[in-house]
Structure 1
């Protein structure tokens, strides 16, 4: 093979992996959690990761560290693809089986709760990176006992209280309507957001009370804090402490994939002594992510690289052929 043609082939072959890399490098991004009724993790983050007010949130920090609260918008499984019950064991629903968030699985009757009533309800999902997909919200069955670990059988899976596909995000929230059935006392809403542009799914637990105030703890021993969502200012302030990729849609971490990977340690002051050392060993990050435009940007870059390789190959090949023709003359 002539030297020029060989060089063109090498160039084309060398650029092809770069194009594929650009496609594969679409990073995962933080996405959100239920904001109304507020989820456990968002509620505890709103209280303040370093000094939460409620007994339940303090217990969650004691069990799993403060980093889980800074990562409030990252309870997810990257390769879920609808296999929620298969991948998440009983007793681990609120953490989605992720050890970093294990404090959220504590079976307690004093989690700060949102007061609700039966009837129509507008759900609000706090989102930090919008994606196409379907939201499904389930309510616990009558007789639910919050002092027992939450199991799939505790949820009325046959009758979701809300479903919404591709709602439009506005003001930092997805809003969609549902209907709460008749219940009494303390219950729990379990939200699943399954993306359609990726196998990734997100999960959250929201504690609610029907037909009563949230200010009196069970037994009347002490006031129980009402649930409240984090403010925009709180979310902004905690961004630097989060280890979840968001807004800019990722870093250059090669470990961002659909396979279980070790959690990246926070840099500098973001590192927290209470955070579990192996917090992310069961964490699954998404194969694709970022905003809806991110994969297309990656595809465009890959296409450009591939086109460039083709041009280089074609140009050198034509020169080689013309050179042979001239020699023939």
Structure 2
């Protein structure tokens, strides 16, 4: 009898630890304007995407970008090796959303589970960006071109942030969107290829 009780206690302890360690798994989201790589995979517009085709909302990694967070070369997958296909530049051939420099744009997130939020930030690549190479911090402008603070509020299931695309951009570029969760150690990442 004592062995069974001990086994039950150990089983419950493992279950509780599992629940605590996956506490942030209930918060998910992705960008669909401009269309992110994970959405192109989920739609079947791009093949050989691995697990992300079933989980476009799950690109979650450590927060604190750009001083912390995912390592260079793993930014589009949020540092999550399960979704490494998002970091593959595919020779610069990811589909791209057509945009215009200086254009007013509605950047949209779909949140399949909402969470207390610090902010949403949008970074764009600089003039040295090579779309045929994995994204690194050195490829991005040093400051986000749009920051939307939330101060711990919970956003709606669909949020659109109006902003202006930087002037002077041309050719193929990439926008890295970062949704920083307030009450966990994580953020969600989305890479959207754009064509100016």
Q: Confirm whether residue 69 of structure 1 aligns to residue 53 of structure 2.
A: yes
Query: Residue deviations 1:258-314, cap 9 Å, x none?
Result: xxxxxxxxxxxxxxxxxxxxxxxxxxxxxxxxxxxxxxxxxxxxxxxxxxxxxxxxx
CA distance in 2 between counterparts of 1:117 and 1:168 reads: 31
CA distance in 2 between counterparts of 1:105 and 1:169 reads: 27
Tell me the residue number matched to 1:132.
116
Cα distance, 1:156–1:82 mapped onto 2, change above 3 Å: same
CA distance in 2 between counterparts of 1:123 and 1:135 reads: 10
CA distance in 2 between counterparts of 1:145 and 1:174 reads: 30
**What SS does the corresponding residue of 1:44 show, helix, strand or coil?**
helix
CA distance in 1 between counterparts of 2:95 and 2:140 reads: 20
The size of the alignment, in residue pairs, is: 176
> Which of residues 84, 98, 108 in structure 2 aligns to 1:115?
98
Tell me the residue number matched to 2:128.
143
Tell me the residue number matched to 2:39.
42
> Which of residues 54, 74, 77 in structure 2 aligns to 1:95?
77
Tell me the residue number matched to 2:8.
none
**Larger fraction in helix:** 1
**CA RMSD across the alignment:** 2.6
> Which of residues 189, 192, 215 in structure 1 aligns to 2:178?
192
Answer whether contact 2:37 2:94 (CA < 8 A) is retained.
Answer: yes
CA distance in 2 between counterparts of 1:74 and 1:32 reads: 7
Cα distance, 1:75–1:139 mapped onto 2, change above 3 Å: same
Query: Residue deviations 1:90-147, cap 9 Å, x none?
Result: 2111112211111111122210111111222211011111122210000000232101
> Which of residues 198, 209, 215 in structure 1 aligns to 2:195?
209
Cα distance, 1:29–1:90 mapped onto 2, change above 3 Å: same
Residue 86 of structure 1: how far off its partner (Å) = 3.4
Q: Confirm whether residue 106 of structure 1 aligns to residue 112 of structure 2.
A: no
User: Taking structure 2 as the reference length, what is the TM-score of the superposition?
Assistant: 0.79
Residue 197 of structure 1: how far off its partner (Å) = 2.2
**Larger fraction in strand:** 2
**Displaced runs of 4+ in structure 1, greater than 4 A?**
21-26, 167-170
Answer whether contact 1:114 1:209 (CA < 8 A) is retained.
Answer: yes
Q: Which runs of 5+ in 2 are unaligned?
A: 1-11
Cα distance, 1:87–1:161 mapped onto 2, change above 3 Å: closer
User: Taking structure 1 as the reference length, what is the TM-score of the superposition?
Assistant: 0.49
Within 5 Å, give how 1:46-65 maps onto structure 2. 46-47=43-44, 53=45, 57-58=46-47, 60-61=48-49, 65=50
Q: Which structure is larger by alpha-carbon Rg, 1 or 2?
A: 1
Q: Which runs of 5+ in 1 are unaligned?
A: 1-16, 48-52, 211-329
